[in-house]
């Protein structure tokens, strides 16, 4: 069941403790800029480039972005879709995610069913992932109709994570929302780590090494960095994060 990309991710985590993934939004950005960002992110040491976005509704554009990135980098390009329009045949794998705390079944199982045959046809490696939005959740909170878990209730996050585990999801992504001002707290990660031995991804609002370190120490396996990459001169900051979170636990 476990594919080559998942094995690669697990190996990198066993070597480094916590690893970083770069998230590139496929919308409103030139291919030239995307190439530059992807290459620089790889040079900083990220282990994968994620491509997605909760409002990415142009599958042709998304596919072009995947191809542009694939030409530039050696690390796997993994889809992080917010909808059925987030599927490209040219990626290495897809985070096959269910937004567990959505109020709308479309985001829990329906989009997944609609996309499933395309994924099979393209031979994409599907990585089963529970996606949980904490707090207001920014754009994905709104688009995905998430009933955001109150950030001061780590036990509710643990409860959803345990449900993901029992449903066979090997990955869980704790999302604060892209570009939010505060990332999720390390106390949530500690609580979740107690009951979840799968791959724990954390994203949303991570821009500073000090924050990233706390999340890594608490037990995050993968930190996803998106908005930081849209700033000029992100390279030293990303490099500092990638290096600074290694082997802290
Ligand atoms: C969004 O968690 C990711 O899905 C990344 O968030 O853009 O805030 O880094 P940022």
CA of 137 to the centre of ligand 1 (A): 10
Residue 123 DSSP class: T
> Could you read off the pLDDT of 151-176 as tens digits, one per residue?
999 999 999 999 999 999 999 999 99
Q: What is the pLDDT of residue 57?
A: 87
Residue 106 DSSP class: G
Percent of the chain scored above 90 by pLDDT?
94
What confidence tier does 186 reach under pLDDT thresholds 50, 70, 90? very high
The domains found in the chain, sorted by start residue, are 4-244 (3.20.20.390)
Q: Is the pLDDT of residue 238 over 90?
A: yes
> Could you read off the pLDDT of 22-70 as tens digits, one per residue?
999 878 789 999 999 999 999 999 999 999 988 888 999 999 999 999 9
Q: What is the pLDDT of residue 7?
A: 98
Sign of CA dihedral 210, 174, 57, 7: positive
Q: What is the pLDDT of residue 185?
A: 97
> Could you read off the pLDDT of 189-202 as tens digits, one per residue?
999 999 999 999 99
Q: Is the pLDDT of residue 87 over 90?
A: yes
179 lines ligand 1 (CB under 6 A): yes
229 lines ligand 1 (CB under 6 A): no
pTM of structure: 0.98
Q: Mutate which of 86, 226, 229, 238 to test ligand 1's pocket (most atoms within 8 Å of Cβ)?
A: 226
Which has more pLDDT, 25 or 101? Answer: 101
Mean pLDDT of the chain: 97
41 lines ligand 1 (CB under 6 A): no
CA of 216 to the centre of ligand 1 (A): 16
3-state secondary structure of 24: strand
Q: What is the pLDDT of residue 171?
A: 98
CA angle, 192 then 244 then 221, to 5°: 25
Q: Is 17 exposed, middle or buried (0-12, 13-18, 19+ CB in 10 A)?
A: middle
CA of 21 to the centre of ligand 1 (A): 10
> Could you read off the pLDDT of 3-29 as tens digits, one per residue?
999 999 999 999 999 999 999 987 878
Q: What's the distance, CA 11 to chain centroid?
A: 18
225 lines ligand 1 (CB under 6 A): yes
Instruction: Tell me the average pLDDT across 120-145.
Output: 97
83 lines ligand 1 (CB under 6 A): no
DSSP codes joined into one string, 138-185: HHHHHHTTB-PBPTT-HHHHHHHHHHHHHTT-SEEEEE--TT-SSPPP
204 lines ligand 1 (CB under 6 A): yes
205 lines ligand 1 (CB under 6 A): yes
């Amino acid at each position: 069941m476990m594919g080559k990309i998942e094995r690669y991710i697990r190996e990198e985590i066993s070597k480094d403790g916590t690893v970083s993934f770069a998230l590139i939004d496929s919308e409103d950005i030139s291919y030239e800029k995307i190439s530059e960002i992807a290459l620089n992110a790889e040079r900083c040491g990220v282990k994968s480039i994620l491509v997605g976005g909760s409002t990415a509704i142009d599958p042709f554009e998304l596919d072009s972005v995947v191809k542009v990135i694939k030409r530039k980098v050696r690390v796997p390009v993994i889809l992080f879709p917010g909808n059925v329009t987030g599927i490209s045949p040219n990626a290495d794998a897809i985070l096959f995610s269910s937004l567990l705390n959505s109020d709308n079944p479309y985001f829990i199982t329906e989009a997944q069913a609609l996309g499933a045959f395309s994924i099979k046809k393209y031979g994409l490696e599907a990585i089963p992932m529970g996606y949980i939005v904490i707090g207001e959740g920014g754009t994905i909170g709104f688009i995905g109709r998430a009933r955001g878990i109150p950030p001061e209730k780590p036990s509710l996050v643990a409860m959803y994570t345990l449900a993901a585990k029992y449903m066979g999801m090997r990955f869980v992504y704790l999302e604060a929302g892209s570009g939010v001002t505060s990332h999720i707290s390390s106390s949530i990660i500690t609580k979740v780590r107690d009951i979840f031995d799968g791959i724990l991804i954390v994203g949303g609002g991570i821009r500073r090494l000090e924050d990233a370190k706390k999340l890594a120490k608490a037990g995050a396996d993968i930190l996803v960095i998106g908005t930081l990459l849209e700033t000029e001169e992100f390279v030293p900051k990303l490099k500092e994060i990638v290096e600074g979170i290694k082997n802290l636990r």
